[in-house]
Amino acid sequence: MRVHERSTHTEGGEVRRTLTKRPSFYHHLHPPRVPLREARFRYTFGLGGISLLMVLVLLLTGLLEMFYYVPSLEEANKSLHQITLLVPYGSVIRGLHYWAAQLLVVTSLLHLMRVAFTGGYKGGRRFNWLLGLSLMVMVLFFDFTGYALRWDEDIAWALKVGTNLLRTIPYAGEGLYALVVGGDEIGRPTVVRIFGWHVYGLVLVAAIFTGWHLFRVRRDGGISRADKKGPTISRNELVRREALAALMALIGLLLLTVFFPPSLAPPANFDGLPAEATAPWFFLWIQELLRLGPPLWMGVIIPLVLLVGLVLVPYALDRSAEGEGLWFNRPGRLAQIVVFLIVAIIVALTLVGVLR
Amino acid sequence: MDELDQIQKARRTLLKLGLATAGLLLLNGLRRFLGYQEPRSRPVRAVLEKPESYAPDSIISVPEMGCWLVRDASGFYAISRVCPHLGCQVRMEGTTFTCPCHGSKFSMDGGVVNGPANQPLQQVQVGQSSDGRLVVDASVTVAAGTRLRL
């Protein structure tokens, strides 16, 4: 910390020299003291922090993969084989990227549920709830575009269905399809655009929203808490706990990478799609929905309705300010039930898809 | 207390050493990751016709080797078309090679006539295969004035 000399002139004409400490960037990341009760693992489970850690891993491993990945029809799959099989530690980088991405979906969802069940959306935190929801949606698009960039047999169906789903949207559908696919069918421009979205377009928006989301946590008064006056721990103690949690999470990531490396199938052939249609696991619920009725309703409108249900949590389902910081607080009962139902529907549909 | 301090100090030193070693190993891994280079697949050498097919005082372009095969009174040689100035491809104009980029000029045997280039055009290896055909290998440079005499 820099120490500065400051001169203050008093009324009596004296000059008083004092030394003041200017806080560094590190000191801005957390408040000097945080509530002890809410810093406990069993309050937040560190889910927001772990999600942020996953994002950092994704940024770093993604950057490294960009040294070798080629976004072209012929080279995409080939360059990934190169990364996985030839580049030293390439399989580790790719595995970390894959698992951080999958874990991010899980931790983001669990974080959403934790915030919902502890009333962390109440009062002034309503807007931050919306920011978080937006990030959740972005995570799903990140995972989908990243998955598609493999350009192998496994993604062919998912890409075809996903892009055709856009077409079902009235008025904007064809325009959106052209924006994503870059033509009237999947081809050379598609892989370039998906790469552009995954590596830049989505990153730009997500970076802004993530920064905003974290800023709002501080501005809204820090972690949501039940008792405004309780025992506290220091910033440094919090950072120690975060470092320990991060270390354990990274070890977990490495173990997953080593023992469950991501698969890579032969290059996609859109003229001869494979027999089995597969969706990525985080969209299995949409695939199950699509079996039940018209695509616009099942694939676009129903997911949007579920999203709107989540949006309404702090604006319509629970507008009270009481109960903040308490698991399953009474005032938020309706919101908790709705969130639980929405998650239960998605999980149930996913299970149906898995068991098929 | 003093003993405890010493143990703690030793422990901290060991941890710092361990962290430093891990950091160096990680950096080395990163260096290896970033340093991977694909093996290049370019044609190694060009097998041409038998020497009798080429008239005396003829110049034949060998584009896949980036050079010309020249037959003059003293024999065969191959001259590279890479300008030693900044790597542009020189063109043949009459009895000189000229570089379109900055105007360097070279004589038939590669020597500098004028221009920003201050080194001659390189000569590359001309040999003969077992059945007598000429073989040009652009990856091997030979001294100026080398000739394959027949």
Q: What is the mean pLDDT of residues B64-88?
A: 89
Contact at CB, B33 and A86, closer than 8 angstroms: no
Nearest CA in chain B to A89: B33
Please indicate if any CB of chain A lies within 8 Å of the CB of B40.
no
Contact at CB, A64 and B34, closer than 8 angstroms: yes
Does residue A47 contact residue A116 with C-beta atoms inside 8 Å? no
Does residue B67 contact residue B78 with C-beta atoms inside 8 Å? yes
Residues of chain B contacting residue A93, judged by C-beta atoms under 8 Å apart: 33
- A2-355, what's its fold? Cytochrome Bc1 Complex; Chain C (1.20.810)
- To 5 degrees, how large is the angle CA A133–CA A50–CA A89? 115
Residue A206 is encoded by which pair of tokens?
Answer: 């997500």
Nearest CA in chain A to B26: A89
Nearest neighbour of B29 by CB, restricted to A67, A82, A89: A89
Task: Give tens-digit pLDDT for A319-343.
Answer: 999 999 999 999 999 999 999 999 9
Q: What is the mean pLDDT of residues B44-65?
A: 86
**Nearest CA of chain B to the CA of A71: how many Å?**
17
Q: Which residues of chain A have pLDDT under 50?
A: none
Pairing assessment for the beta strands B105-106 and B96-98 based on DSSP bridges: antiparallel
Q: What is the CATH number of domain B46-142?
A: 2.102.10.10
Q: Report the predicted TM-score, pTM, of the whole model to 2 decimal places.
A: 0.84
Residue A91 is encoded by which pair of tokens?
Answer: 């399989």
CA B40 to chain centre: 12
Contact at CB, A93 and B33, closer than 8 angstroms: yes
Which residue bears the tokens 């400490």?
A21
Nearest neighbour of B32 by CB, restricted to A67, A68, A88: A88
Number of H helices, E strands in chain B: 1, 10
Contact at CB, B33 and A90, closer than 8 angstroms: yes
DSSP H helices, chain A, are 25-29, 36-39, 41-44, 47-65, 75-85, 90-117, 126-148, 153-167, 173-181, 188-196, 202-219, 235-259, 284-290, 295, 302-311, 333-355
Q: What is the mean pLDDT of residues B42-56?
A: 84
Q: What is the mean pLDDT of residues B80-93?
A: 90
**Which pLDDT does position A315 carry in this prediction?**
95
Contact at CB, B34 and A89, closer than 8 angstroms: no
Band (B30; pLDDT cuts 50, 70, 90): very high
Q: What is the mean pLDDT of residues B76-90?
A: 90
Which residue out of B26, B33, B34 would a mutagenesis test of the A interface target, given it has the greatest number of A Cβ atoms within 10 Å?
B33
- Amino acid at site A25: F
Domain ranges of chain A: 2-355
Distance in angstroms (rounded) separating the CA atoms of residues A301 and A71: 32
**Which pLDDT does position B50 carry in this prediction?**
87
Distance in angstroms (rounded) separating the CA atoms of residues A151 and A255: 26
- The reply to whether ipTM tops 0.85 is no
Please indicate if any CB of chain A lies within 8 Å of the CB of B29.
yes
Residues of chain A contacting residue B29, judged by C-beta atoms under 8 Å apart: 88-89
- Amino acid at site A75: E
Domain ranges of chain B: 1-37, 46-142
Residues of chain B contacting residue A89, judged by C-beta atoms under 8 Å apart: 29, 32-33
